Structure 1
Amino acid sequence: MSDLPTLPVTFRPGHTRVILLTAGVVMFLVISAIALLLEQLGPGDRLTFIITGAVIFWVLAQLARVKVIADDSGVTVVNIVSRRRLAWAEILRVNLRPGDPWVFLDLSDGTSLPALGIQPGIARQRAVADARTLRALAEAHSGPSALPHEPRS
C-alpha cells in the first residue's frame, strides 16, 4: 500500500492532550494562587494546597500521555499506567466500532488490548483515519489477516 506513513509514526489524541494539559496547568496555578493569597493559611496549609495542585496536574498529565507508536518491528501501546510492546505478528485485528471509547487490538494470545492513543472522543474523524492507518500497517507488516471492515464514521 503506497499511502502508508513513513515509520515510525505516533498516534495520540491531540485535542484531548491539549485540553488535559491546559486544565492541569490552570488548576495547579489557581490552587497555588489561592494558597498564596489566603492570609489565614499557615506554611503547612499552603504547602498542602500546592502539593494538591501538583498531584492534580500529575494525574491529568498521566491521562494525556497515552499514545500508540508504530515502527518497523511492531507497536508500542502506552496507556495511562502501562506500556506494552507488541510485534506486528501479535496483532490479529484492529477494531474501532461505533460507540467504542478507543481502539482495541485483538492479539494472538486471545486477549484484547485497549489502545487509548486512538480515541474518537473529541476528534472522531481523526481517530477513524488513525485506526484505518494502523489497520493498514498491521496488514502490511503481518500479511493478510482477519481484520474487520473499515470503522464507520
Structure 2
Amino acid sequence: MSDAPELPALPVTFRPGRTRAVLLIAGAAIFVVITAVALLLEKLGPGERLSFVFTGALLFGVLVLLARPKVVADEAGVTVVNITSRRRLAWAEILQVNLRPGDPWVFLNLSDGTSLPALGIQPGIAKQHAIRDARALRALVEAHSLGGRDGQHDEHHG
C-alpha cells in the first residue's frame, strides 16, 4: 500500500508548530508593547503602570494556553493535551482517528463511545502537516490495536 505512512519512532509529539510559533511570538510582542507603553506614558502612576504590565502578562498567558495543545504518543499509549485539560489514553481505548475536511482538529473515537478532540493536530495554517500527522497517528493506533487486541476488535467498526 503506497499511501501507508511510515510509523514514526516512539515517543513522538504532534503539535501545530506554525500556529504555536505565531501565538507565542504575538504574545511576547503584545507583552513588550503594552509594558513599553506603560513605562513611556509619563502621566501614569505606579499602580496604573502595574495594571498595564499585568494586562500584558494576562494576554500573554492566554496565548500561551492557546499554544499548549499537543498529542504525545509513546509505547504505552497517547496523551492528549488540550488548552486546559490533559488526558492519558491506552492504545486500546482509541478506536479511530478522524480528520475530515472542514474539521478544526483531529477527533479520537474512544472505546467508551465518546469522541475526544485532539487540538494538537489541527489544519489551521499548516494543512498538509496536519494531514501527515493525523495519518501517522492513525497508523500508530492501527499498529498498536492489532498488536494489543490480536485483531479481534471488529464489532466497533463504523
TM-score (norm 1): 0.93
Aligned to 1:98: 101
* Cα distance in 1, alignment partners of residues 128 and 5 from structure 2: 21
Query: Cα distance, 1:3 vs. partner?
Result: 2.2
Q: Secondary structure at the match of 1:84?
A: strand
* Cα distance in 1, alignment partners of residues 9 and 26 from structure 2: 33
Aligned to 2:35: 32
Query: Cα distance, 1:147 vs. partner?
Result: 7.0
Gaps of 5+ in 2: none
Correspondences of 1:1-153 after superposition (within 5 Å): 3-143=6-146
Q: Secondary structure at the match of 2:63?
A: helix
Q: Secondary structure at the match of 2:83?
A: coil
* Cα distance in 1, alignment partners of residues 115 and 44 from structure 2: 50
- Number of residues of Structure 1 aligned to a counterpart in Structure 2: 148
* Cα distance in 1, alignment partners of residues 136 and 5 from structure 2: 12
Instruction: Name segments (4+ residues, structure 1) moved above 4 Å.
Output: 144-148
* Cα distance in 2, alignment partners of residues 67 and 3 from structure 1: 20
2:5–2:135 CA contact under 8 A, matched in 1: no
1:135–1:147 CA contact under 8 A, matched in 2: no
Query: Cα distance, 1:35 vs. partner?
Result: 0.3
Gaps of 5+ in 1: 149-153
* Cα distance in 1, alignment partners of residues 127 and 142 from structure 2: 22
